[in-house]
């Protein structure tokens, strides 16, 4: 027994054991950093932990969701497609603006010149009609040079600012048998014994014939004489044959009815005077080209190119038909429209 105890107490059997800490000296607690890994589990295996750390070191910083079929490539540059689209839209808008605005700047001056030339033709036609009125009041004589001022004052410039250049001053009217003085603001008046030969004056052996001539902005001259001859009328300036032109033609008929009344003591064209009204006020003017007019108190003979004229004592009703009125200076006219129905106008 004593030998066994002695063998256990021999130095080779006494293994080193660290001394117990002093009870009154506590070991300080060390708080790990917040981002430090958790402590190893009880069944710590250093090989497995090292493998896990190595795997985590290769995990992408922004892993995609497992459900995302198109993972993003880190730091891939994005194309600025919005800026490119804005440039394309701007180019398209500029192209469309140029397409519409440039032709407007080109066509508008031409249209304005055409409109002013139309008025010049109208003014020459009016000048000739006033010569006809002068003849009626002066036993068929034509205004001579000494009559020109009175003719202008009493027939063309009764009121202030009448018979003026389009948008300008009163016309200059000269006695010029050659017609060479004609300009866009000057009417060359031949005096007695002349007529138009195209757009030029030519002398004739008839002292009751006279002509007037004016220059047009778009080139050439316009000439009319008391026989209804002269430069070919420009109906094409009025545009295509459509319902707008048909309405304008009815308005033109009534402007001529007013001129007729001015020259006939307010009387309107009757059945007896209707042929002269057509010959002297309508057929001589290019604005009536392409149309006919008939004396028809019923209005039933109106077509798309024929104006029905009622004669005295009629006006238009709400349906575009003629209806009688107890007023002998009231007349109506109507025309059929392409779009259906009739257009009717009266002077009431």
- Please give the average per-residue pLDDT across 321-332, as a whole number: 94
> Which has more confidence, 41 or 100?
100
Q: How far apart are CA 95 and CA 141, in angstroms?
A: 64
Q: Exposure pattern of 58-87 as b/e (b: 16+ CB <10 Å)?
A: eeeeeeeeeeeeeeeeeeeeeeeeeeeeee
Query: Of 1-15, 266-280, 292-306, where does mean pLDDT reach its minimum?
Result: 1-15
Residue 40 above 70 pLDDT? Answer: no
Tens digit of pLDDT for each residue in 213-231? Answer: 999 887 888 999 887 666 6
Do the strands 342-346 and 332-336 form a parallel or antiparallel pair, or are they unpaired?
antiparallel
Domain regions of the chain by residue span:
108-232, 239-346
> What's the pLDDT band for 15 if we cut at 50, 70, 90?
very low
- Structure confidence by residue, pLDDT tens digits, 200-210: 899 998 888 89
Specify the higher pLDDT residue, 341 or 104: 341
| pLDDT at residue number 95 | 79
pLDDT attached to residue 30: 55
Mean of the per-residue pLDDT values of the chain: 78
Q: Among 101-110, 143-152, 187-196, 210-219, which stretch is predicted with the lowest mean pLDDT?
A: 101-110
pLDDT of 288 reads 78
pLDDT in tens, 60-108: 555 544 555 555 555 555 556 777 888 888 888 887 777 666 665 655 6
More confident residue, 240 or 271: 271
Task: Report whether 346 contacts 321 (CB < 8 A).
Answer: no
Would you state the pLDDT for residue 299? Answer: 95
Q: Which residue has the higher pLDDT, 270 or 230?
A: 270
Mean per-residue pLDDT for 290-315?
94
CA distance 54 to 59: 10
Q: How many CA atoms lie within 13 A of 220 on its CB side?
A: 13
In percent, the amount of the chain with pLDDT more than 70 equals: 69
pLDDT band at 314 (very low <50, low <70, confident <90, very high): very high
What's the CA gap between 212 and 216, in Å, rounded? 13
> What is the arithmetic mean of pLDDT over 257-270?
87
pTM of the complete model beyond 0.75: no
Indicate whether 33 pLDDT > 70: no
Q: Read off the pLDDT band of 236 (50, 70, 90).
A: very low
Given a cut of 90, whether residue 337 has pLDDT beyond it is: yes
Give residue 335's pLDDT band: very low, low, confident or very high (50, 70, 90).
very high
């Amino acid at each position: 027994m004593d030998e066994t105890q002695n063998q256990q107490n021999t130095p080779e059997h006494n293994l080193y054991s660290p001394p117990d800490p002093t009870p009154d000296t506590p070991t300080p607690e060390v708080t790990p950093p917040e981002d430090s890994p958790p402590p190893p589990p009880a069944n710590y295996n250093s090989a497995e932990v090292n493998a896990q750390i190595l795997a985590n070191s290769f995990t992408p910083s922004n892993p995609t969701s497992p459900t995302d079929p198109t993972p993003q490539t880190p730091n891939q540059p994005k194309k600025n497609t919005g800026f490119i689209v804005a440039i394309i839209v701007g180019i398209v808008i500029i192209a469309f603006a140029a397409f519409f605005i440039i032709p407007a700047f080109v066509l508008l001056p031409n249209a304005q010149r055409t409109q002013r030339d139309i008025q010049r033709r109208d003014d020459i036609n009016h000048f000739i009609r006033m010569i006809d009125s002068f003849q009626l009041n002066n036993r068929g004589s034509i205004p001579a040079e000494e009559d020109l001022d009175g003719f202008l004052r009493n027939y063309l410039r009764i009121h202030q600012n009448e018979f003026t250049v389009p948008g300008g001053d009163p016309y200059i009217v000269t006695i010029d048998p050659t017609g060479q003085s004609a300009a866009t603001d000057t009417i060359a008046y031949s005096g007695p014994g002349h007529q138009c030969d195209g757009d030029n004056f030519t002398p004739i052996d008839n002292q009751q014939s006279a002509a007037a001539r004016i220059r047009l902005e778009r080139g050439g001259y316009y000439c009319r004489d008391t026989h209804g001859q002269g430069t070919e009328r420009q109906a094409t300036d009025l545009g295509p044959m459509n319902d707008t032109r048909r309405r304008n033609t009815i308005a033109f008929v009534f402007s001529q009815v007013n001129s007729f009344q001015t020259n006939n003591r307010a009387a309107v064209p009757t059945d007896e005077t209707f042929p002269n009204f057509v010959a002297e006020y309508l057929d001589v003017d290019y604005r009536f080209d392409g149309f006919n007019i008939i004396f028809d108190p019923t209005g039933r003979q109106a077509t798309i190119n024929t104006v029905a004229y009622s004669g005295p004592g009629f006006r238009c009703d709400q349906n575009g038909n003629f209806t009688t009125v107890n007023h002998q200076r009231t007349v109506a006219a109507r025309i059929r429209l392409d779009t259906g129905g009739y257009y009717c106008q009266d002077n009431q």
